[in-house]
Amino acid sequence: MKTQARPDLCEGPVQVLSPEETMGLSYNVYLNSSRIYGCKTCKTHLANHDDIASRNFRGQHGKAYLFKSVVNINQSEASERSMTTGKHVVRDISCKQCKETVGWKYDKAYEAAEKYKEGMFILEAELLCTVH
């Protein structure tokens, strides 16, 4: 996965800065892939199509995808939730740019058969758009 860190609304050559050099500025990651999913509200890049681990998930808004990695998100505090596949510790995730909730992250699964989800992310299809 090729990525570039760029400040919002930046044009021209880009210098990649370390966290210490950004001095509190928020930088978005721009993905470089043949198919990129973004936030439906603001089009901020969230995930590469190639990072989908499973398309067989449901969220509050219907169809959802399990991703191995996502970018440009904020995470809420962890909370324990009973879901259709058992009890999990999850965090809601929201778009870093517009703050819209786009899914959740699995921190912990109590059922052995569900452990593969730990550290992965659900993005709800209804809350996404295809950016590229």
Q: What is the CA radius of gyration of the chain?
A: 15
pLDDT at 47: 97
Tens of pLDDT, residue by residue over 87-128, are 999 999 999 999 999 999 999 999 999 999 999 999 999 999
Closest listed residue to residue 69, CA positions, set 94, 95, 42, 48? 48
Query: CB-based contacts of 61: which residues, under 8 Å, 6+ apart?
Result: 124, 125, 126, 127
Tens of pLDDT, residue by residue over 17-71, are 545 445 566 789 999 989 999 999 999 999 999 999 999 999 999 999 999 999 9
User: Residue 10 pLDDT > 50, yes or no?
Assistant: no
0.85 surpassed by pTM: no
Alpha carbon 68 to chain centroid, angstroms:
9
CA 97 – CA 85 distance, rounded (Å) = 31
